């Protein structure tokens, strides 16, 4: 029995040593491939870019910064991916090899989530990244948020995504008819203390909201207040929803009163 166990042990050790030697040999062969085979065989001959809709393929290829004679075996894939995502429109990038000479880039893009006005109007993504300055055409269907900034902002900078989402959700409440189909938010001002001011447009009151949830409950409460007072929204100067247990409304002043 001892002889059989010794034989099995020797075979196991031998197999392990052989596996290690094969791994080392494979690594040495891989290291020598660029030198033993002509470099031009592994020169990148084609670039495939997938997943992009807004960012031009040529822009993504240019961001890679590849030399004309770059070898598919020598490029650093994580570094190339990091260079691609410097473009604020690119959310993720994955670069891979397809031997012998094809480099493949797969990206996912950000989408505009809101327009933030802070000295200039910017398209901003859901994760708060400034994508670019917004044109009038691009501002028509997106939440319009105004932010008090103490300095000029620029493309690629990030705004607190929680504030962006807060303003965008509030905007959607009015798009869904929270106070009737004819009452829409024209602009939402994001204040430094975390509160919001909703501008409904000429002839309609300002609405002040705090940080907490329960927006729909407060709006329903306003509807009841208007019904009890037998008045309309247009007869208010403002409505303040920043308190959990009450609403403060101020009627418009009348001439002579």
Q: What is the pLDDT of residues 93-106, one digit of tens each?
A: 999 999 888 999 99
Taking 50 as the pLDDT cut, the residues of the chain under it are 2, 5-6, 9, 36, 256-257
CA geometry: angle at 127 spanning 121 and 128, to 5°?
30
Q: What are the residues whose beta carbons fall under 8 Å from the beta carbon of 87, sequence distance 6 or more? A: 55, 59, 60, 63
Residue-range domains of the chain with CATH: 39-109 (3.10.20.310), 112-251 (3.40.50.11690)
| Token reading at 181 | 């189909």
Q: How far apart are CA 162 and CA 169, in angstroms?
A: 11
Q: Is 153 helix (H, G, I), strand (E, B) or coil?
A: coil
pLDDT of res. 32: 57
Stated pTM of the model: 0.77
The DSSP symbol for 191 reads -
Q: How far apart are CA 183 and CA 172, in angstroms?
A: 12
- Pairing verdict, β 46-50 and 102-109: parallel
pLDDT of res. 257: 40
Radius of gyration of the chain (CA): 31
pLDDT of res. 14: 63
């Amino acid at each position: 029995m001892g002889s059989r166990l010794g034989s099995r042990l020797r075979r196991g050790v031998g197999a392990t040593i052989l596996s290690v030697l094969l791994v080392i040999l494979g690594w040495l062969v891989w290291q020598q491939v660029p030198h033993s085979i002509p470099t031009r065989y592994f020169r990148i001959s084609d670039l495939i870019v997938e997943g992009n809709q807004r960012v031009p393929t040529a822009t993504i290829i240019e961001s890679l910064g590849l030399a004309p004679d770059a070898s598919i075996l020598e490029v650093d894939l994580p570094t190339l991916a990091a260079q691609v995502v410097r473009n604020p429109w690119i959310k993720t990038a994955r670069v891979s090899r397809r031997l012998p000479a094809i480099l493949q880039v797969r990206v996912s893009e950000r989408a505009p989530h809101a327009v933030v006005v802070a000295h200039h109007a910017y398209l901003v993504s859901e994760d708060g990244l400034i994508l670019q300055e917004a044109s009038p055409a691009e501002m028509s269907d997106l939440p319009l948020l105004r932010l008090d900034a103490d300095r000029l902002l620029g493309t690629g900078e990030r705004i607190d995504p929680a504030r962006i989402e807060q303003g965008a959700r509030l905007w959607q409440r009015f798009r869904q008819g929270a106070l009737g189909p004819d009452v829409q938010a024209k602009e939402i001002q994001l204040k430094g203390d975390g509160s919001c001011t909703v501008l409904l447009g000429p002839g309609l009151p300002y609405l002040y909201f705090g940080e907490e949830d329960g927006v729909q409950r407060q709006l329903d409460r306003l509807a009841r207040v208007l019904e009890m007072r037998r008045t309309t929204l247009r007869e208010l100067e403002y409505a303040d929803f920043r308190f959990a247990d009450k609403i403060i409304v101020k009627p418009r002043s009348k001439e002579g009163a």
